[in-house]
Structure 1
Amino acid sequence: MSHSEIGLIGLGTMGSALALNIAEKGFDIVVFNRTTSITHAFAKSAGVLADRISPTDSLADFVAAIKVPRIVILMVPAGDPVDEQIAALAELIGPDDLIIDAGNGNFHDTNRRMRSIMSPFLGIGVSGGEEGARNGPAIMGGGPNAHWERAAHILTAISAKFGDIACADWMGEEGAGHFVKAAHNGIEYADMQLIAESYGLMRDGLGMDAAQIADVFLEWNKGPLKSYLVEISGKVASVVDEATNAPLLDVIVDAAGQKGTGRWTAIEAQHLAAPIPVIEAAVVARNLSARRDERAEMEKLFGTGPKAINPDDLPLAVMEQAMICGKILCYDQGFRMIRAASDQFDWNLQSPAIARVWREGCIIRSAMLDDMASAFTEDPQRSLMAAPFFSAQIAKTHDALRKVVATAAMHGIAVPAHAAALAYFDAMRTARGTANMIQGQRDFFGLHGFARLDDGTTGNHGPWAN
């Protein structure tokens, strides 16, 4: 007899954690993994939750064990594996059975699947890593709202909670959920890069050791920068490596990995003509980090990079203020990009709801996001830069951001995310920019025409057109 309300395919790290979360919240769940031994090992390790978990050895047994109409969550690698799994399920499930892709899918793939799959389909972004999947992630749903409502009682139950508010919500049609998750990950890249640059300034500029840096991050985590990423940065910096008795950070290779979602965000921003320079700088920094051998050669060629900074020239309080400013500007870019996508794809994405979902469970969760949710609730279309609370914060901190960027530049320390944030701020607050020169150049070599300031006419040409 089919008794389980939901099934899950894919018992990797995230899938296993999510399945346990579902069972712990009181839902009977059927699980299946292509490697049968993994399925049974998972079920045996479930402890007190084992009674709610039904392991199956075949896809047919898996489908048969779920109540009709079925809900099936896919936790398999993005791309072709998702399509292959959907194709295999299509031969076994009914027309009302709901398939949910909960992996890190590209929203273009999700859009395509929405249009081609005969069964009901959702694409949901799940953020929070293994810990979030097990204890409560942030969940961003995309697809028809009616399909979201079918699974919402489970998805909200397993999600993180901000007070008593579930950090799970329907974002919009088609691939909206996966797009919002990609934007989240792009912001995550930038957040991490801003922290890493502050670490570099303390280590290479101020000569601080890892333990001292840990104390700074943990202190910053008590103020406006309170967030999961600042908190764990302090914890990472405080760990001593057992093998060498040196700080663990000092033995970690300085080449950052990536799964591609930050890169997707940067690519989509270009398609949307949505400037996200802090996020793009973070993606570039990760790519550069992989070039370790080449960087070592360049150091030999041009001399050692960082020069010592007099602590009086760059107080830690100034660095904290700079990070506050950079973070606000980064989020401003991220939310502007989300609004651009909403307009482009007719998704009606709601900035207040997105900020509320991100307040807990996800990697970028922070105290600041609650203030952002409030700012967007007051005016969903207003940028964070223009919101009174955040404009006041920027006014107080942008000089610190300038100080950090200038000091870093004079001492040979790369701070691309900080610098991108400052350039964005300066560009956005300059009413009369320099693109008139670009328009003149374009007209000179291509007769592209230009608009005039004095009379507003367009399609004008310079004398070189004669």
Structure 2
Amino acid sequence: MQLGVIGLGRMGRIVVDRVLDAGHDVVAFDLDAEATAAAAEAGAEPADSVADLYDRLVSGSTEAARIWLMVPAGDAVDATLDELEPHLGPDDVVVDGGNSYFEDSVRRAEATDAAYLDCGTSGGPAGADLGFSLMVGGREWAYEELTPVFDAVATGPDGHDRMGPAGSGHYVKMVHNGVEYALMQAYGEGFELLHRGRYDLDLEAVARTWNNGAVIRSWLLELCEEAFREEGNDLGDVADRVEGGSTGTWTVREALEQEVPVPLIYQALAERFDSRGERFGRRLASRLRYGFGRHEVPRREE
């Protein structure tokens, strides 16, 4: 299969590499010419523009285009679609692999002539080796058509599924992120009690021990162990500030609309917005965001 990839940042480049490794062809484009050149060195066919990418996908064949967008959520997705729209037809498939708001995905699916798949993507940079978890919404025939690509980008056939109609993929990813907030909050609170409690504990050792057979073992707990190993038992100069919050806000807003109580997710979101005082738990949550997504870690000034 031939896939066009637009957006060659950290995550987009992983998509390119995993699709190439699976034996498929990739046409790649990014506004950053150096990123496009780097993808070409890895084996992708470089494109000079969005229009050029589409032309290369359909040139010399009767096949429709299959295009994966990995650009920042929001205006960048709409701008890219605006460039693509004059070229797209009903047999084309466009995948939005970013962290878009699900209602935006519904709107885009209704507005474009192509089959639009909203693809919630989880796994962070670790997906380069392990593969991602992909939550896909949109037309069933388009999902089936892209299955070989999803197999390549995900951890395998069990790492992706069609959640339902347009918007459902990003909806499931939104709730996934809300759950992630609550889990990070729980680990942060637990380790804060251990840090400030009765005993002088080696928190890296605690995390390692818990991760070997304990009920609460998880990848996030592995990242706790990594954080204490690399930053120290007191998390060094990691600042008491956790960035992000958009997907958690979306989750809480949807819960209010559906009258579903989500107190743990709400409290975790509130902690992100609370900048008062010094909290060890928030510092650990900030470092965990680096662990799974390589998000920048705010540091305290000397």
TM-score range, shorter chain: 0.7 to 0.9
Q: Give the counterpart letter for 1:29 in structure 2.
A: V
Which residue of 1 is the match for residue 289 of structure 2?
none
Which residue does the alignment assign to 1:287?
273
Aligned to 2:68: 73
| Corresponding residue for residue 148 of structure 2 | 153
Q: CA deviation at 1:130?
A: 1.4
- Cα 1:262/1:134, change in 2 over 3 Å: farther
Looking at CA atoms only, which structure, 1 or 2, has the larger radius of gyration? 1
Tell me if the contact between 2:66 and 2:94 (Cα under 8 Å) persists in the aligned partners.
yes
Aligned AA (1:70): A
Deviation at 1:134, TM superposition (A): 5.2
Residue 219 of structure 1 is matched in structure 2 by 209
Aligned with 1:105 (options 79, 100, 113):
100
Q: 1:93 & 1:121 partners in 2: Cα distance? A: 11
CA distance in 2, matches of 1:133, 1:193: 26
Query: Do the aligned residues in 2 keep the contact of 1:157 with 1:166 (CA within 8 Å)?
Result: no
Matched residues, number? 276
Q: Which residue of 2 aligns with 1:314?
A: none
Name whichever of 64-73 and 25-34 sits farther off: 64-73
Q: Which residue of 2 aligns with 1:265?
A: 251
Q: CA deviation at 1:135?
A: 3.4
Structure 2, unmatched stretches of 5+, are 281-291, 293-302
SS at match of 1:8: strand
Give, in angstroms, the shift of residue 111 of structure 1.
1.1
Between the aligned partners of 2:167 and 2:234, the Cα distance in structure 1 is: 40
* SS of residue matched to 1:249: coil
* Separation in structure 2 between the aligned mates of residue 263 and residue 252 of structure 1, nearest angstrom: 24
Equivalents in 1 of 2:233, 2:203: separation in Å?
A: 11
Q: Displacement, 1:205?
A: 2.0
Q: Aligned with 2:146: secondary structure?
A: helix
Corresponding position: 1:235 with 2:235: no
Structure 1 partner of 2:84: 89
Identity of aligned residues (%): 33
Does residue 27 of the first structure (1) align with residue 24 of the second (2)?
yes
Is the Cα–Cα contact under 8 Å of residues 116 and 166 in structure 2 kept in the other structure? no
How far, CA to CA, are the matches of 1:257 and 1:143 in structure 2?
31
Q: CA deviation at 1:274?
A: 0.8
- The equivalent residue for 1:166 is 158
CA 1:38–1:251 in 2, change beyond 3 Å: closer, same or farther? same
What code does the residue aligned with 1:171 have?
A: M
* Number of the residue aligned with 1:60: 51
From 241, 245, 261, the equivalent of 1:255 is 241
* Aligned 8 A contact 2:50 2:80 in 1: no
> Closer, same or farther in 2 for the Cα pair 1:94/1:116, shift >3 Å?
closer
Q: Give the C-alpha shift of residue 157 in structure 1.
A: 2.9
Stretch of structure 1 that moved more, 221-230 or 176-185: 221-230
Q: Is the 8 A contact 1:107 1:178 kept in 2?
A: yes
Corresponding residue SS for 1:250 = coil
State how far apart, in whole Å, the 1-side matches of 2:192 and 2:56 are: 54
Report deviation, 1:270.
Answer: 0.6
Query: What residue identity is the alignment partner of 1:5?
Result: Q
Secondary structure of 1:265's counterpart equals helix
- Counterpart-to-counterpart distance in 2, 1:282 and 1:70: 41
Whole-angstrom CA distance in 2 between matches of 1:180 and 1:156: 19
User: How far apart in 2 are the matches of 1:13 and 1:259?
Assistant: 20
Residues 245, 272 of structure 2: 8 Å contact kept: no
Aligned to 1:385: none
Q: Is the 8 A contact 1:73 1:99 kept in 2?
A: yes
Is contact 1:141-1:169 (8 Å) kept? yes
Shift of the alpha carbon at 1:15? 0.6
Which secondary structure does the structure 2 equivalent of 1:65 belong to? helix
Query: What is the CA-CA distance between 1:204 and the residue it aligns to?
Result: 1.3
> In 2 relative to 1, CA 194–207 (structure 1 residues): closer, same or farther, beyond 3 Å?
same
Give the AA of the match of 1:256: V
Structure 1 portions without partners, runs of 5+? 241-245, 297-304, 307-362, 364-466
Confirm or deny that 1:117 pairs with 2:112: yes
Partner SS for 2:134: strand
Alignment of 1:331-410 (within 5 A): none
User: 1:123 offset after TM fit, Å?
Assistant: 0.4
Whole-Å Cα distance in 1 between the matches of residues 230 and 105 of structure 2?
Answer: 40
1-structure distance, mates of 2:129, 2:77: 22
Moved over 6 A (4+): none
Displacement of 1:9 in angstroms is 0.1
Distance 2:93 2:234 in 1: 45
Alpha-carbon contact 2:98-2:120 (below 8 Å) kept: yes
In the other structure, the counterpart of 1:197 is: 189
Q: Is the 8 A contact 1:125 1:178 kept in 2?
A: yes
**Per-residue deviation, 1:187:** 0.4
Whether contact under 8 Å (2:3, 2:25) holds in the other structure is: yes
1:251 partner SS: coil
> Would you say the 8 A contact 1:135–1:158 is kept in 2?
no
- Please give the alpha-carbon distance, in whole angstroms, between the structure 2 residues aligned to 1:84 and 1:133: 27
1:146-193 per-residue CA deviation (whole Å, 9 max, x = no partner) reads 2211111210232114xxx52100000110000000111110011111
Cα deviation 1:49-75 (Å, max 9, x = unaligned): x2xx11111222211221421110000
3-state DSSP class of the match of 1:230? helix
